[in-house]
Amino acid sequence: MRCWAVVTCRVIVIALLSVLTSCVSPAIDSAGYRDKVGHAAEKMTGIIGSAQLAAEQDLAGKAFGTYADQVISDAEQDAQSVVGQLDSVQPPDEASITLRNQADDVLQNAAGQLSDLRIAQRRGDKAGMRQSLKDLSDSLAKVQQLQDSA
Amino acid sequence: MTRKAATRKATSLMWANEGLLDRLLIGIDGEDVGMVDNLEFSDATPASGAASGAAEPELTALLCGPLAFGPRLGGRIGTWWTAIGRRLRPDGDPAPNRIPIQLVRRISHRGVELAVPATELPNRRVFDWARSRVVDKIPGSGA
Amino acid sequence: MKATDLIGCAVYAADGEELGHVHDLRLESDGKPEDGDWRCRLTGLVCGSSAIGHRLGYGTGDMAGPWPLTSLLARWRRRSLTVPWRDVDELQPGRITLRTSRRQLEQMQR
Amino acid sequence: MKKFLQLGLGVVTAVGGFVDIGNLVTSGITGARFGASLTWAIIIGTIGMTVYAEMAGRVSAVGGRTVFHAVRERLGVRTALVNMIASGLLNLLTLAAELGGVALVLQLVTGVNYLIWVPIVAAVMWLAIWRLPFTWLENLFGVLGLALIVFVVALFKLPTDWHGLWQQTWHPRVPNGEGHPTYFFYAVSLFGACLVPYQVVFFSSGGREEKWSPGSVTEMRMNSLIGFPLGGLLSIAIMFAAVPVLQPRGVDVAHLGQVALPVTQALGVTGLAIALLGFFAATFAAGAECALSTGYLISQYFGWPWGKMHRPAAAPQFHLVCLAAVIAATGFILTTIDPVTVTLVSVVLGAAAVPLTYFPVLIVANDRDYMGDRVNRRLSNTLGTLFLVVMLVTSLATLPLLFITKAGL
């Protein structure tokens, strides 16, 4: 029975470690890389969607400032981590490098716009927020294109 | 004892695992005292030769507390547990807490009910330690 | 002598056949604790393959279910063997030797 | 009249007590990602929870036994020790998640980082455990937790496609672009969020705290048979509310704040405030219950005096364990590990650990010696056994799913 306890503990520790370490894994081939780009774009779509929702609610007076701020800041951080995660993957071939440059452009752009949105929101700059929202929906279209192409 | 057999007045049967071991010990004041961690029997040498059946050991006490729990667990964890239990003893006496069988008042479905209040039993060392070292020092403990 | 000195011991018949490990103790008492002067004797060692049935409470058959367990554990229970204490010949740490053979024990239980 | 009020309060408390950080997070995630196609997992989980809570409550009221007394008695000293350690660690993980949840809610309201709130929340939670009478602790936050009904209201204000939800609920399909392992991983997480083991430990020990007697069985049944299903309904409402708002935008819920977006969309600032109050009450109450459960299960295993019916000085080990649990969980969440990840891992491991506490309850509920004529009837036994089988399968599937899906990433 003691043996069981040890095994159970180990399994739990391994499970937790695997959860923690599963964030970065190397891409194997070109198809795998495309998958990663597609996945990053998909994530970015949702992140932008979340920030847009919060910002629209804030503009409509539906949410209080700290709440919208938090949701937008979370989105901003998530976006940066998506960019960072994709950057950490080594592109396996020339085609992948082209894809990377293209994706990086789009994703970095979106992340930057999320920062703009957060800055405008915190300053209570409604015009700035509207502008950022407009930029974001353009970005969103590009991200979705990327997702479809990848 | 808790089984139907117990309702018969005559000889009643019981199994250690089912009726005694790991049962809750309850003082007459209704307080939880501990668990029955082990049983103590009178030393009866196995019946030799013709005198068969003469020397059935008698249940003398219920044992509880870390020093009874450790051996019950067995293995390395058990040894370790016993060592901790010994540390808690001021005199380092390795004998576990005994609750003589005469103190058993009733064995019910709730557990083994004793004829004395929990405070009069010897196995309150962990209780006293937790109380005097930590709980009593926090305001509002109701001490 | 403590319960842990017995539970877990390997039990050998007089002819050296291993009968399994002790997993429970059979106790007999006259009357009940509330009658006063309660005495409880150790009359037998339950050995065999597994203690789980008894442990869970399916030893004496006062369980209402659930269905698969009741029959399964009752059958398991029947496979264990109770050795009367008076048949114990020698007690060594971790090892109990009997003065009888498995056949004699099984005949007695019937 | 007073009796009636008391019954109502009990039910309300059970509703509020059912929903915790696990339900909030898993319902939010799955609603946004899988629509209503995982509703079945909540339904099954809720039925299981209800059946076993009723059993544990009955064992507590009629047999006077709590879950971990039964565990030790029926499983034996060693198996029960492993069981206790596993359940205890799981409780710590859940407690950490709840603490993080409360702190996150406070961050949403104040804008101050949650890590600053964690120690404050932990201190207040411990004070509540130390000082507040049991019924207060249970009822106050149970009633406040009912604020989550705002999700039901939001559902009616949002452009909810009821027909579509109905279709997805009863004809579930794995949505396009999602793998089966991920789908089932989240099914397990919803299942685990409904069946968290600490709730059964708490429900049965709480019965002793409130001095339930065989006469309380009706009251207990009302609590479990009405309260828990209503709690399950709340979980479903949180899931459904995410469908019209978050799913079309492809939002992947990764933060507690996002779970409230649908309510804000439908009801504005008032709705948001009520939802956050509900989040706060539900997670705070669950955190306190979780810490108490840790005290209950360890004290009951060793036979120490336990419970809030005693002064702390009369149950020192119990209070020491509760304090230690709060400190350990605080330390864990202060490592800046993401509370939402902790929540997911805790509910999934919880789903795996469920049989450990539920099996002994099923056994003892069948013992005529304890229960007299209140033993399980055929319905309880059939459902109970069926669920045990489901739970065993879930247990076996959990770890592989956790590995394959990398915790649903």
Residues whose CB falls within 8 Å of the CB of residue D298, separated by 6 or more in sequence, listed in order: D84, D88, D304, D321
- Nearest by CB to residue C65, choosing from D74, D75, D366, is D366
Given a cut of 50, the residues of chain D with pLDDT beneath it are none
**C-chain residues near B4 (CB < 8 A):** 60, 62
Q: What is the pLDDT of residue A16?
A: 62
CB A72 within 8 A of CB A48: no
Q: What is the pLDDT of residue B6?
A: 45
The answer, for A94 touching chain B at a CB cutoff of 8 Å, is no
- The C-alpha atoms of residue D408 and residue D178 are separated, in whole angstroms, by 11
Mutant choice from A1, A3, A8, A9 vs B, greatest count of B C-beta within 10 A: A1
CB D278 within 8 A of CB D285: no
- Read off the tokens for B45: 């040498």
Give the chain C residue nearest D386 (alpha carbons).
C66
Give the chain A residue nearest B76 (alpha carbons).
A2
The answer, for B31 touching chain D at a CB cutoff of 8 Å, is yes
**B-chain residues near A5 (CB < 8 A):** 77
* D contact residues 382-401, partner C, Cβ 8 Å cutoff: 382, 384-385
- Nearest by CB to residue A63, choosing from D269, D345, D409, is D269
* Residues recorded for chain C: 110
Q: What is the DSSP string of D21-58?
A: HHHHHHHHHHHHHHTTTTHHHHHHHHHHHHHHHHHHHH
* Predicted confidence (pLDDT) at residue B49 exceeds the cutoff of 60: no
- Read off the tokens for A141: 């279209």
Cα D353 to chain centroid distance, Å, stands at 14
B139 preceded by cis ω (within 30°)?
no
Per-residue pLDDT tens for A115-148? 999 999 999 899 999 999 999 999 999 999 888 8
Q: What is the longest distance spanned by two Cα atoms in chain C?
A: 43
CB contact under 8 A, C42 and B57: yes
**Closest chain D C-alpha to C61 CA, distance in angstroms:** 9
Strand order in the sheet with B104-107: B32-35, B24-26, B112-114, B104-107
Give the number of A-B residue pairs with CB atoms closer than 8 Å: 4
Give the number of B-C residue pairs with CB atoms closer than 8 Å: 123
Where helices occur in A2-125 by DSSP H, the ranges are 2-21, 30-59, 65-87, 94-123
Give the chain D residue nearest A49 (alpha carbons).
D249
Provide mean pLDDT across the span C15-26.
Answer: 84
- Nearest by CB to residue A46, choosing from D111, D252, D406, is D252
Q: What is the pLDDT of residue D308?
A: 83
Q: What ipTM did this prediction achieve?
A: 0.82
Helix (H, G, I), strand (E, B) or coil at D409: coil
Helix (H, G, I), strand (E, B) or coil at B116: coil
CB contact under 8 A, A67 and D409: no
Per-residue pLDDT tens for B86-110? 777 767 667 788 888 888 888 887 8
The answer, for B44 touching chain C at a CB cutoff of 8 Å, is yes
Closest Cα to residue A128, out of A116, A140, A136?
Answer: A116
Closest Cα to residue D261, out of D107, D32, D7?
Answer: D32
- The C-alpha atoms of residue A74 and residue A115 are separated, in whole angstroms, by 11
Per-residue pLDDT tens for D297-340? 999 999 888 888 888 888 889 999 999 999 999 999 999 899 99
**Closest chain A C-alpha to D156 CA, distance in angstroms:** 17
Q: What is the pLDDT of residue B5?
A: 44
CB contact under 8 A, D305 and B73: no
| Backbone phi, psi, residue A23, to 5° | -75, -40
Give the chain B residue nearest A6 (alpha carbons).
B77
Judge residue B103's burial from the number of C-beta atoms within 10 Å of its C-beta, 0-12 exposed, 13-18 middle, 19 or more buried: buried
**D-chain residues near A77 (CB < 8 A):** none
Per-residue pLDDT tens for B109-131? 788 888 888 888 777 777 888 88
> What interhelical angle do D77-110 and A65-87 show, nearest 10?
120
Give the chain D residue nearest B65 (alpha carbons).
D302
Per-residue pLDDT tens for D199-247? 888 888 988 888 888 888 888 888 888 889 999 999 999 999 999 999 9
Print the SS3 string covering D278-327. Answer: HHHHHHHHHHHHHHHHHHHHHHHHHCCCCCCCCCHHHCHHHHHHHHHHHH
- The C-alpha atoms of residue C44 and residue C24 are separated, in whole angstroms, by 9
- The C-alpha atoms of residue D246 and residue D256 are separated, in whole angstroms, by 13
- Nearest by CB to residue C27, choosing from B16, B63, B105, is B16
* Predicted confidence (pLDDT) at residue C44 exceeds the cutoff of 50: yes
- CA dist B22 → A137, C1, C95 (Å): 66, 18, 24
Q: What is the pLDDT of residue A53?
A: 93
* Predicted confidence (pLDDT) at residue B51 exceeds the cutoff of 60: no
User: What pTM value is reported for the model?
Assistant: 0.89
Q: What is the pLDDT of residue C59?
A: 62
Give the chain C residue nearest B44 (alpha carbons).
C1
**Closest chain D C-alpha to C22 CA, distance in angstroms:** 15
**Closest chain B C-alpha to C52 CA, distance in angstroms:** 10
- Read off the tokens for A95: 């085609």
Q: What is the pLDDT of residue A2?
A: 45
| Residue D403 identity | F
Helix (H, G, I), strand (E, B) or coil at A11: helix
The answer, for D398 touching chain A at a CB cutoff of 8 Å, is no
Given a cut of 70, the residues of chain A with pLDDT beneath it are 1-28
Place of tokens 């790991």: B22
Where helices occur in chain B by DSSP H, the ranges are 66-73, 75-88, 125-133
**B-chain residues near C57 (CB < 8 A):** 18
Residues whose CB falls within 8 Å of the CB of residue D192, separated by 6 or more in sequence, listed in order: D22, D26, D45, D347, D348, D349, D350, D351, D352, D354
DSSP-derived pairing of the beta strands B104-107 and B112-114: antiparallel
